[in-house]
Amino acid sequence: MALEDAKTQIDLAFTGSGRGLAYENAFGGALSAFRRRYTKDLAGVDLAITGVPFDQAVTNRPGTRLGPRAIREASALQPFDAPYGWGYSPLDEFTVVDYGDLAFDYAMVSEFPERLTDHIRGILAAGAGSLVLGGDHYISYPILKAHAEKFGPISLIHFDAHSDTWQDDDLSRIDHGTMFYKAVKTGLIDPKTSVQIGIRTDNPDTLGVNIIDARTVHERGAAWVAGEVKKIVGDRNCYLTFDIDCLDPAFAPGTGTPVWGGLASWQAAAILRDLAGVNLTGGDVVEVSPPYDTTGATAVAGAHVAMEIIALYGWTRRAG
């Protein structure tokens, strides 16, 4: 069946139904996230994927504005098969669409946060889940506002080299290193039931957020980490954000603030799969910077993380 479909499928970004595996050539056709259909109609949609090409908040190397495009391209390798190790096919069981990119005026940066919050509000109000492809990590803050408005204070599952909780009490500042400080201080996330994984930069004030640093991941193992995360989060509504620099630069060189000693891609994959059962309201993949991604490996990793988030989101929503 797949071979026959490969002979006829093309441009599923426009002709697809939004459900089912895809067999058009990975090197051809119009690109969309996982060959999902582009649409602005959310009727009957389970999960909407949005690109947010924003990188005006970076502290070092820019380029993550090109991340959504690169992740979409890398994702063309994945919709031929169900994601390995999950035992089900989320693209078959759920209607997942590519909702396109967020439109914003790059020269009016101050207007960006509310524009993104309103965009996510619209998705959630339609009854769909939201998966965002970034973009720098600041984007998680306006996204979390929309989730907290609908679900109440969120438990955050945060993969990163950096805690991003450096003190910043000026809510008008747009900075990809302080947004979770603001999220805690404004009550968007509950620090006691939140956890940060892979941290390996110094920030003494954790604001009460649970930390599983990179060395602990290496020493205790992926299964232990996933178990601890599940204990911390419990059955609460949670949001998963994955900064690609959680991975060691050997696995993800295409990012703005790389830090050695990070997770291997297999460790991240194992943790994400073992998180099956958490009550996920949505997620994002951020900080993929294609100008520094000479082999495309970082975008490939970002696309795999996005697929794991899709599988996690679907896990607790499967029929039966």
170 appears as a binding residue in the annotation: no
46 appears as a binding residue in the annotation: no
Q: What number of other Cβ atoms are within 10 A of residue 115's Cβ?
A: 16
**DSSP string over the chain:** -HHHHHHH---HHHH--S-S---S-TTSS---GGGPPB-S--TT-SEEEEEE---TT-SS---GGGHHHHHHHHHTTSTTSPPTTSSS-HHHHS-EEEEEEPP--TT-GGGHHHHHHHHHHHHHHTT-EEEEEESSGGGHHHHHHHHHHHHSSBEEEEE-SS--------TT---TTTHHHHHHHTTSB-GGG-EEEEE-S--S--TT-EEEEHHHHHHH-HHHHHHHHHHHHTTSEEEEEEEGGGB-TTT---SSS--SS-B-HHHHHHHHHHTTT-EEEEEEEE---GGG-TTSHHHHHHHHHHHHHHHHHHHTTS--
147 appears as a binding residue in the annotation: no
CA-nearest of 221, 203, 213, 301 to 253 is 301
Question: 123 with 281: CB under 8 angstroms?
Answer: no
218 appears as a binding residue in the annotation: no
160 appears as a binding residue in the annotation: yes
**DSSP string over 159-187:** E-SS--------TT---TTTHHHHHHHTT
Phi, psi of 253 (to 5 degrees): -75, -20
The torsion of the CA quartet 10, 12, 13, 15, rounded to 10 degrees, works out to 110
Annotated binding site: 137, 160, 162, 164, 243, 245
Query: From the annotation, which residues make up the binding site for Mn(2+)?
Result: 137, 160, 162, 164, 243, 245
